[in-house]
Amino acid sequence: MSNVEYKRTLCFASHANCGVLATVEDGKVVKLEGDPDCQVSQGRVCERMDFQLDWLDHPKRCNYPLKRVGARGSGKWERITWDQAMKEIGEKLRQLADEYGPESVIFSHGTGRTDEWYESRFFNLYGSPNLAMGGSEICWCPTYTNESATYGQFAAAFTAAKTGCVVLWGHNPAQSGDFPEHWGYQDLFEQDPDVKLIVVDPRCTEYAPNADVWLRLRPGTDGAMAMGWMNVIINEELYDKEFVESWTYGFEDLKKAVQAYPPEKVAEICWVSADKIVEAARIFATCLPAYLPWGLATDAIGRNQAQANRAKACLKALIGINKAGQTYLAPPNDVLPHATFEMPEVLPKSQRDKQLGADRFPFHSWPSYQKISDAQSRVFHHPYFLSQNATCAQNWCAVSEAIRTGKPYPVKGLIAQASNPFSNLSNTQDVYECVKMLDLVVDHEYTMTPLAMLSDYVLPAAGWLERPQLWGVGGGGPCITGVALTGEAAVPPLYERRDNYEFWRSMAEGTFDQETVDKYWSWQTTEEAYDAMLEPQGTSARDAITNPVFNSSPEEWHKMNDPKTGQLYGFGTPTGKVELRSTIIEDLFDDKEALPYYEEPFESPVSTPDVAEEYPLVLTAGSRVMPYYHSEYRQVNGCRNRYPEPHFQIHPETAAELGIGDDVWCWIETRRGRCLQKAKLDAAMSPYAISAQHGWWFPELPEAEPWLGGWFVSNINMCTDNDPDNCCRLSGVYNVKIAMCKVTRADDMPFKNLFS
């Protein structure tokens, strides 16, 4: 008779973390379905669930530790034990620290799939300030830093069953993987057709056709659009006067700043009519509560990133912060923040000061991390509340320069985890050349990605069905949202795979002395570590599976008195108010940067008209497509059969002028390089722009040089830029989305045997 169990897990096939019931028969997962008791996803799952059983034991999954035995990229490996791998890696890490300093080792990660703090803990103990390259600096985390500097923390997820207006700004949850959010909007609009919808996006997303206003702005001009909205809202006195007068700092300065952005001027900048800009601003300010969630686009637009996100934060503040269904901050609670477990305090200031890029780009690095944390500590009673992994990222442009030149010091080692930097770092040819120059590359990974193929050691990672999970609603983690949602492992890790905590504990055992391991890595299992995180909430990882924690959420808690001090809470900023004029940015830079403003992209018809003559189309890169998640699942038949090849969107008239038809292979080319994608004619695209997908590689190609999984064939980041002079002047965010390009038919297309 079969032994059947039912396990309540969280799906990490994307960032959504939907509740899943796994049927386990005789130790094998045989069925996956939505968990109707999950308070977040309520039994719904997306199409990625269709192939997760195949993914669990896919032939391309990494199962055993591997050591490179041939030349780097030769595809020659030796299977070894975890103990041998950790011993040898630890010896090499100690050698690099002795010879070049611990700062010579860097870390790269992908989109977070667990409650990440282990890598920060390891790097702080090791002594390297160069943490979190590859995802943190271009996705979610820039907004997290900007909002924390503006009103003391990141805005939580949707907090009310009803709202008057939703603004999707560079955000398409129908394709990006945020499906509980997507389903929530569907329910909201079905239940109340009077709810207004505004879409700000160069592309016609699934939401745009049904929007009350769709602003098809020129890619990269988001900052100007936000300043234009504020111009209307302030000049027409549509803002929340009581909130602005009582709880904001620098309003009069902001009022002066937005006068430079009347709707007519913004219309010229953004390629959108002034009437639509005014209409959208009025709807946002009057159809309250109005909700403007995070969107990736403004995190990755390069030069204007920080000020565009600052403008959006100030825009939200004008209609009031800490209101249900609007911009809401999770209240102070007893949840231990990530930083408690990251232990930033053990990294000396002398090492922090060595962080690559922090001298030139201090916002979103150690200098801003310290200033924001100092301000937050008054409200949250922790010396460090921010997630170091999320807000203290090293700069890829500075890393590249250090690898190539040895200045300001050599970079010799890279540890990566669930990271494919060939897909998420700009100027991929530079990425390839830099990786080849390193002395040590260690990759903890699910499959042999292009980076894994160039590594010295590849360690097999356990997937979401093989490990316990702890997450917070909205992707922010328990330290931000005050929510603890946990899932259990459906089965123990297959083969010799290890989960993230076990990987970093193993790394610690191989690198540090026993006293350090006993003191700082005392939890033997991941579940024990989660128990320690949840103890202040009076629960455990096991109990939170069936009884998740949803802390109470009083509105306008900033007006309440702190029970520990008796003082008014206010906001976790230096002034205790929402800082429309940022004192933190002013301290880091000067008063010119303290207020948001718009700056042209590094390449555009306006800033570089000479470049535009040869490369006449505005490229916006990075569009998502289901059922993929970033660069994942290209080796899964269930995905490739549904979406076998990469596409870019182009207006039919533009395509006709170029002699391009639908589904025709084309070269997309910039001054950096070129790649191959198929044309998808789309009349909703601007005739002057194209939108290209990101994340493409071809795992079916050979793993050895020169192929390395075809990382260069259709990778749009062959075309993007990482010149420090073109980056965001505050944060150093590189241009992973914006460039000027040209498109030509690929009549000379190589690799014809690859594409049928």
Q: Is the dihedral of CA 586, 590, 595, 601 positive or negative?
A: negative
How far, in whole angstroms, is CA 545 from its chain's centroid? 26
- Nearest CA-CA partner of 657 in 743, 749, 748: 743
What's the CA gap between 134 and 399, in Å, rounded?
Answer: 11
Q: How many CA atoms lie within 13 A of 401 on its CB side?
A: 13
- pLDDT score, position 555: 85
What proportions of the chain, in percent to the nearest 5, are helix, strand and coil? 35, 15, 45
- pLDDT score, position 654: 98
Paired with 620 in beta bridges are 691, 738
User: Residue 145 — φ and ψ, nearest 5°?
Assistant: -65, -45
User: What length is written for the chain?
Assistant: 756
Longest dimension (CA), the chain: 76
Q: Is 440 helix (H, G, I), strand (E, B) or coil?
A: strand
Q: Is 186 helix (H, G, I), strand (E, B) or coil?
A: helix
Tokens of 222: 């988001």
- pLDDT score, position 742: 98
What's the CA gap between 264 and 276, in Å, rounded?
Answer: 11
- pLDDT score, position 161: 66
How would you class 659 by CB atoms within 10 Å of its CB: exposed for 0-12, middle for 13-18, buried for 19 or more? exposed
Low-confidence ranges of the chain (pLDDT < 50): 473-479, 756
Q: Are the CB atoms for 205 and 174 separated by under 8 Å?
A: yes
Q: How many CA atoms lie within 13 A of 328 on its CB side?
A: 23
Q: Are the CB atoms for 136 and 166 separated by under 8 Å?
A: no
The pTM assigned to this predicted structure is 0.96
Report the phi/psi class of residue 134: left, alpha or beta, with left for phi > 0 and alpha for psi in -120 to 50: left
